Structure 1
Amino acid sequence: MLIAPLINHIRPGALPTVFGLSGYSGAGTIPMTDPDGRPTTAPKVPPATLMGGVKPYSLTDHIHEREAGFHLAELLSSGAAPLKVAFVPAVAPWFSGIIATVSIPLTGKMTAREVVALFEEKYKGDKLVRIVKDVPQLPDIEGKHTWTVGGFQVHSEGDRVVIVGGLDNLLKGAATQCIQNLNLALGYDEYTGIPVE
């Protein structure tokens, strides 16, 4: 979602790079047994092991690189070269919420205002997309059913843009998205049962 509005403005051969910070719930869980012998789970990356910092992982070849490149390539005109995306994830010491920062080399000079206009056009009418001026922070996304994007900044030479987006991985990244997909598959309004903020 951070890259799609700019799909036709990415410098050919360039590599959009996404740095993602995910709460430790996004790292998954491992099976274990509680003190009473019952099966349970525990965070794969317990927050105490992060010591207040972040833990980068899967520094290359993360599955999301291939997923993003595949789906973004579908937006390109036929005959265009496949799009590659670099994704560098890290686990953070909060529970839920993903904040991703993308750096995109551009084909030509653009202004931040032009970039915002592309995002407004691409996501017009989507009730679960919030476009804001400032860089989204954890309180803007945690516990929300929306994807929030903002902090649009263009390099002083106008040839590279940096944008920040975020969502709650347990809501918009999982449960909310599931409800949207079920609604669409069953012929209901996409937003049925989802609190629209």
Structure 2
Amino acid sequence: MPQELYGRAPIRAAKRISNPGCYATSSQLLLAPLVDYLKPGALPTIFGMSGYSGAGTIMENDASGKPVTKPKVSAESLGTFVRPYSLTGHIHEREAGFHLSTLRADGTQIKVAFIPAVAPWFSGIVSTVSVPLKAPMTAKDVIALFEERYKGEKLITIQKDVVQLRDVEGKHGWTVGGFQMSVEGDRVVITGGLDNLLKGAATQCLQNLNLALGYDEYAGIPIA
């Protein structure tokens, strides 16, 4: 679970800590400020695009017979194409829904629809979420919820513009932006992103280690 959502005290006291998945981190951060404003029975839908480093590796033998690891997906194999995969039932879909449900005031379950895709860049995730709302809101209303939820968080950036790869690639935090409403005000679309190798993995791991060992949470993490 991202530290920014579920608090630091449980991590400091924990004996076992697991890092949240990179896609699940961005999905949870995108939806957390809105968990009590979701339209009942409707699924928030997240489309995420990740650099091919997020696809993992496979073991192969090189020309000499020595085992080596290679990316499951390469930039060459993708060309200029974005490849959707695991179109339903992705593990991060269940992970995000499970943890978001713990944030809801009435305790009811939240389900999300998540569609991942791998893209021909190395690292960085950009996710777009479409959120049906139970009552009309304005973009200012939604932004205010995000500003309140993430006030004082050093690794979270809220911006006006749609999040692009350049906003997150090689950076240690998570960025959110866009905030566009439907004409009726009953649906908001938001973009968010992080580097899957940093805030989606190593940076988050270092935060957890620092907290568990009693150090400053951000020790060793450059803060922009």
The Cα of 1:136 is off from its aligned counterpart by 1.1
Give the Cα separation in 2 of the matches to 1:37 and 1:195: 41
Letter in 2 for 1:194: I
Give the Cα separation in 1 of the matches to 2:79 and 2:53: 16
3-state SS of 1:49 partner: helix
Residue 188 (str. 1) matches residue 215 (str. 2): yes
Residue 21 (str. 1) matches residue 36 (str. 2): no
Paired position in structure 1 for 2:65: 37
The Cα of 1:25 is off from its aligned counterpart by 0.4
Paired position in structure 2 for 1:133: 160
Give 1:108-123 correspondences, 5 Å limit.
Answer: 108-123=135-150
Paired position in structure 2 for 1:57: 85
The Cα of 1:77 is off from its aligned counterpart by 2.4
Residue 160 (str. 1) matches residue 182 (str. 2): no
3-state SS of 1:109 partner: coil
Paired position in structure 2 for 1:142: 169
- Deviations 1:112-171 (CA, angstroms, capped at 9, x unpaired): 111111111111111000111101111111000010100111111100000000000001
Letter in 2 for 1:66: R
- Deviations 1:18-54 (CA, angstroms, capped at 9, x unpaired): 0000000011111112334332211111222212111
Paired position in structure 2 for 1:94: 121
Give the Cα separation in 1 of the matches to 2:65 and 2:223: 41
Q: How many residues end up aligned between the 2 structures?
A: 196
Residue 5 (str. 1) matches residue 33 (str. 2): yes
Give the Cα separation in 1 of the matches to 2:193 and 2:218: 20
Give the Cα separation in 2 of the matches to 1:98 and 1:5: 20
Q: Mark the runs of 5 or more structure 1 residues left unpaired by the alignment.
A: none
Q: Which region of structure 1 is more displaced relative to structure 2, 29-38 or 158-167?
A: 29-38
Give the Cα separation in 1 of the matches to 2:92 and 2:141: 27
Give the Cα separation in 2 of the matches to 1:15 and 1:35: 49
Residue 71 (str. 1) matches residue 103 (str. 2): no
The Cα of 1:2 is off from its aligned counterpart by 0.3
Give the Cα separation in 2 of the matches to 1:67 and 1:25: 21
TM-score normalised over the length of structure 2 = 0.85
The Cα of 1:178 is off from its aligned counterpart by 0.3
Give the Cα separation in 2 of the matches to 1:168 and 1:186: 25
Letter in 1 for 2:110: L
TM-score normalised over the length of structure 1 = 0.96
Q: Mark the runs of 5 or more structure 2 residues left unpaired by the alignment.
A: 1-28
